[in-house]
Structure 1
């Protein structure tokens, strides 16, 4: 797995382990398990899922036991069945127990995003529309959350505020109108495309006249989206957003929009059930 650009694996592992181990370490394991005890274990999927974060999860065990033996039968982005083995490991028992929760939490969180994302991608298959993520991510985990969305089949939208010009309704209100907001953004000469959010049909032509490179059609029903697609007639790419669910995304995609952005895939994805099952001890 190629780790996402801008992600410091060592820093992340150190920070997460410090949060879980505290100053005293795993006092329970240290009190009950011999220092030289070893375990073999398997990390298994307890439901179907799309996997994301295998190498990140493995890094917790490697940090605590540099001699741990690890095998990853699959890859991030794989769709696996219930009972599939995601990781096999053999190493120091205390280290494995100390790293277990950090590894599982990370793998479950990222696999949850990838799994939900794949459901949305499958729901619009064949329509030509592309699923996008948003900046609605867990604070401090954006790079990983967006990586997981890619593993599920989505494309990334803006990674950061400096990654693209996106004029939202509050920008429009502060500028006094869609056209004026776009004009100011174009005049700033950022070198970035200017995308503007519109929530009414009558905002489209002023946005295009001012030089908008892309439109975000916010909270429009399918009938209004079709009217917008007809009006724009391919002049700029169109993105639909706002309140999109698994039940509605197909109808939205069939209106002819180019992109659909969904905050739920990173903001509200449920964690799938993954367990670390110890197979034998010595």
Structure 2
């Protein structure tokens, strides 16, 4: 289970993701592993261990990566994605043609270390919000080509995904409001053309913008760079206008999470787990050859 107590996350292996896995392997293999001839006909075993405490993510990628190299290779997961791990813990075991195990090592570890770092950083922030009822969400500040996996890692850490892309919801920011004539006209234009289930979110930098967004029928208001004191005063006013509007805070430093959670907001969004987290140190160790 993820550290936040949510159901274990599920990663959808779409054709686009499978194509990315193939390209990432090709990036490392190039014209072919020059060490492979030394391993022809050899069958090996290996396992992963973690050298640091954290939350594991990326184990589900190992079997698909191996299948692209050699379908005879197999993986046994000892730890599920989203589960906490401690230094020295064995995470998974691999068996199959030795050349395939060697070839998959770097790509699989790089992805898992990156994703586990994000999951671990997310879990720490989710833990700081435990008991408050406030959810932690990610942003669109992700590595090009890795968005699906990085957002998956956030879920592994117990976080919530914000928009995956511009087509998930309409978020009207400062430039939209300036170029469309204000909050009301911008919301009206989006409502007139977007599919009916699409939500409209307005990013507000002042109390007046936030109130205008609520009055204009925004489904959610992102309150950007407000202090906890300012939000504590503003949130009740917005709730009085629209009790069901979702209120989100951004621009929050980790040490301020408790103060922001006490203001009555529903969601805190942050890019920190993706943009600032170190990789979790994982290692692949090879056991004696089977044949």
Q: Which residue of 2 aligns with 1:271?
A: 279
Is 2:63–2:74's contact at 8 Å kept on the other side of the alignment? no
Q: Which residue of 2 aligns with 1:252?
A: 260
Secondary structure, aligned partner of 1:248: helix
Is 2:210–2:223's contact at 8 Å kept on the other side of the alignment? no
Query: Normalising to structure 2: TM-score of the pair?
Result: 0.89
Q: 1:62-87, CA deviations, whole angstroms, 9 ceiling, x for partnerless residues? A: 32232123211121111111111111
- 2:245 aligns with one of 226, 236, 241: 236
Q: Does 1:208 align with 2:208?
A: no
Q: Which residue of 1 aligns with 2:22?
A: 14
Instruction: Count matched residues.
Output: 278
- 2:135 aligns with one of 127, 130, 133: 130
Q: Which residue of 2 aligns with 1:30?
A: 36
CA shift in 2, pair 1:7/1:51, >3 Å: farther
How far did 1:145 drift? 1.3
Is 1:6–1:143's contact at 8 Å kept on the other side of the alignment? no
Q: Which residue of 2 aligns with 1:69?
A: 74
Q: Does 1:221 align with 2:227?
A: yes
Is 1:44–1:84's contact at 8 Å kept on the other side of the alignment? yes
Structure 2: gaps of 5 or more residues = 1-8
Q: Distance in 2 between matches of 1:135 and 1:269?
A: 16
- 1:81 aligns with one of 77, 86, 94: 86
Moved more, 134-143 or 59-68: 59-68
How far did 1:9 drift? 4.6
Q: Which residue of 1 aligns with 2:52?
A: 47
How far did 1:38 drift? 2.9
Q: Which residue of 2 aligns with 1:159?
A: 164
Secondary structure, aligned partner of 1:163: coil
Q: Distance in 1 between matches of 2:12 and 2:277?
A: 20
- 1:183 aligns with one of 188, 210, 227: 188
How far did 1:125 drift? 0.6
Q: Distance in 2 between matches of 1:63 and 1:184?
A: 47
Q: 1:85-110, CA deviations, whole angstroms, 9 ceiling, x for partnerless residues? A: 11111222222111100010111111
How far did 1:22 drift? 0.8
Q: Does 1:262 align with 2:270?
A: yes
Q: Which residue of 2 aligns with 1:119?
A: 124
CA shift in 2, pair 1:213/1:13, >3 Å: closer
How far did 1:8 drift? 4.1
Structure 1: gaps of 5 or more residues = none
Q: Does 1:168 align with 2:173?
A: yes
How far did 1:187 drift? 3.4
How far did 1:235 drift? 4.6
Is 2:51–2:282's contact at 8 Å kept on the other side of the alignment? yes
Cα RMSD for the two superposed structures: 1.8
Alignment of 1:89-108 (within 5 A): 89-108=94-113
How far did 1:14 drift? 1.2
Query: Normalising to structure 1: TM-score of the pair?
Result: 0.92
